[in-house]
Amino acid sequence: MAPIILSAPMQGWALPVSQVPDAVFAEAMLGDGVAIDPTGDGLYAPCDATVLTLLDTNHAITLRTRDGAEILIHIGLDTVALGGRGFTPRVAVGDTVASGDLLIGFDLDLLVREARAVVTPIIVINPERFTITTRTTDQRVEIGTPLMTILPIAPVGRQPAAQTAGEVRTRTFAVPLPHGIHARPAARLGELAKTFASSIRDRMP
């Protein structure tokens, strides 16, 4: 497969994701990428893709490229708490978009006043399949400026996991978070799950 070029989905200052003031993004718990501190009021498609998810609060969107790369764009930090205020979606789940199409309009002034930060991570969330080979940081970018190049990772043959007999324990619990299992708790649960030889499934009500 050919390299996938992701362009800047908004204008602003590009910075390493490690500088995002949130451990989930800075420590790449969700995946690696680049962040932009925006100066405009729109989020545009960084490549040709399909809209995979769009949260009800309209502050985060996931795109899937034709080759299967999944790109999460999270506008600001803790913006889920705005309940959708300040965001105007221009697409819906399942839509096919072209590079440069407007995805979400947002009120930058409102976000600056009410969100913890407006810095926006652009993350490759299936790093087991794709790796970033080049990225643009520490400079101003315009919509369409080349931001990242990603390449598929060659598959490695694996032996089927051995089946072991033993006691099976199941526990069901509810997470009493007002906005559900959002990016931060989901990432931390994922990191914790990797330390156990277990299977964890989530079921939405």
Which are the catalytic amino acids? 74
Distance CA 95, CA 118 (A): 26
Phi then psi dihedrals of residue 169, to 5 deg: -120, 135
Return the ∠ at Cα 79 (arms to 200 and 109), rounded to 5°. Answer: 165
If one counts every other C-beta atom within 10 angstroms of the C-beta of residue 175, the result is 10
Distance CA 145, CA 10 (A): 9
Distance CA 150, CA 160 (A): 28
Nearest of 174, 187, 185, 169 to residue 28 by alpha carbon: 187
